[in-house]
Chains A and B, each alone.
Chain A
Amino acid sequence: MRDAFHAVKLEAPLKDNLKLKKKRMEYALAAYGGTADYGVAEVTTAATYEIADLYYTLGQDLMASERPKGLNDEELDQYDILLEEQAFPFEEQAIDILLSNTARTQDGIYDEWVRKSFARLADLVPARFAKSERSERLVATID
């Protein structure tokens, strides 16, 4: 289902393709939502990450979608602003879902999917998440 979602390109006819992509997203969300209820930590973190990825991808695909032909520069600018307004909530949703995954470290859960969530958040919200530990490159003391 995830692959089916990714396979839909947001190109003309955009309205139809967007509708199809959202439909396939709903199916994928339902499937991941079911696995998240298993109660197995790694399945839950994986499903959470994938759900966030669906939202993130939809936002990205919207921004990269085919522009209508025949628009002048000003119209194209306005169209881009409208697209951003459409895409932004999906990115916000992705961030919120990723945050729910990274918060699992407070329960001692730190698997591959939580790590990936941190990495994605570092890209999306670098001011808050692009932080890593500091240490000496080498220690010159002998004792």
Chain B
Amino acid sequence: MSQRLINSIVLVGAATLLGACSMSGPATVGGEQYPATVTNRYARALGYMDAGNDSRAQNELEAFGEAYPGYAGAQVNLGIIYERRGRPDAAEAAFRRAVSVCAECASAYNHLGISQRHKGLFDEAEQSYLLAIEADADYSLAYYNLGVLYDLYRGRPDLALQYYEAYVEREADTADIEDVRKWIIDLKRRVNAPQRAAQSGGRP
């Protein structure tokens, strides 16, 4: 289990317990010590976010980000909220802050890539997804999103096929994986169609 995943589980647990209690003293998350004030504040913000209270979560995360600019998670979550609230420029800036303090945060690069794709910055989005994979080769969402990028926006069905296949390799048990398998079948047909036409001299 990765360090980041352990951190996630502990913090989601902390967020769930909000209202009932708060941590006191330094909290150990994934073998790393964080001051309890930091984890409590962050867990509180996540609790609001998880409950759908984006306005309150945004306030908490903005305050948290000012107090602790070195923590990427808060910036990613701020970016997610800004996107949801129709502030794409603020979202992209938050994701950029996240990757500037955490070059290993695959999720931050993935969110940045999506934000860039929404703006039509396709080259930048591609780079961000690739950096997500570089940060964590098992981060499946970046493979999926690269597939979508090449499939719909770059006119590269051959590359889309590769990345969808890589996604399926990593997420074979996901509930909606059958959709992606169907896309793969369709892409194989589209990729092979010009080759078959060339081999037959253009005759069907």
* Cα distance, A106 to B141, chains bound together (Å): 23
25 pairs, CB–CB < 8 Å, chain A vs chain B:
A105-B154, A106-B153, A110-B120, A127-B183, A127-B186, A128-B183, A131-B151, A131-B152, A133-B144, A133-B145, A133-B148, A134-B145, A135-B145, A136-B80, A136-B107, A138-B80, A139-B77, A140-B7, A140-B15, A140-B46, A141-B72, A142-B11, A142-B29, A143-B71, A143-B73
Interface SS of B by simple majority: helix
Contact across chains for B117 and A133 when beta carbons are under 8 A apart: yes
Contact across chains for A138 and B49 when beta carbons are under 8 A apart: yes
The minimal Cβ–Cβ distance linking A130 to chain B, given in whole angstroms, is: 9
The minimal Cβ–Cβ distance linking B113 to chain A, given in whole angstroms, is: 8
Among residues 144 to 168 in chain B, which have CB atoms less than 8 Å away from a CB atom of chain A?
Answer: 144-145, 148, 151-155
The minimal Cβ–Cβ distance linking A61 to chain B, given in whole angstroms, is: 29
When A133-B148, A135-B141, A142-B11 are in contact, do A103 and B155 touch as well, CB less than 8 Å?
yes
Q: Which of these, A129, A132, A138, contacts B77 with CB under 8 Å?
A: A138
Contact across chains for B114 and A141 when beta carbons are under 8 A apart: no
Q: Which residues of B contact A118 (CB under 8 A)?
A: 152
Contact across chains for A134 and B141 when beta carbons are under 8 A apart: yes
Chain A interface (Cβ < 8 Å from any Cβ of B):
102-103, 105-106, 108-110, 118, 127-129, 131-143
The minimal Cβ–Cβ distance linking B78 to chain A, given in whole angstroms, is: 10
Most chain B CB within a 10 A radius of its CB, from A127, A131, A137: A131
The minimal Cβ–Cβ distance linking A49 to chain B, given in whole angstroms, is: 16
Most chain A CB within a 10 A radius of its CB, from B12, B108, B120, B155: B120
Contact across chains for B4 and A141 when beta carbons are under 8 A apart: yes
Q: Which residue of A lies closest to B72 (CB)?
A: A143
Q: What sequence of 0s and 1s flags, for each residue 66-102 of chain B, a beta carbon within 8 Å of any chain A beta carbon?
A: 0000111110110010000000000000000000001
Q: What sequence of 0s and 1s flags, for each residue 26-64 of chain B, a beta carbon within 8 Å of any chain A beta carbon?
A: 000100001000110010001001100000000000000
When A105-B120, A108-B122, A127-B186 are in contact, do A141 and B152 touch as well, CB less than 8 Å?
no
* Cα distance, A121 to B154, chains bound together (Å): 16
Contact across chains for B186 and A140 when beta carbons are under 8 A apart: no
The minimal Cβ–Cβ distance linking B97 to chain A, given in whole angstroms, is: 13
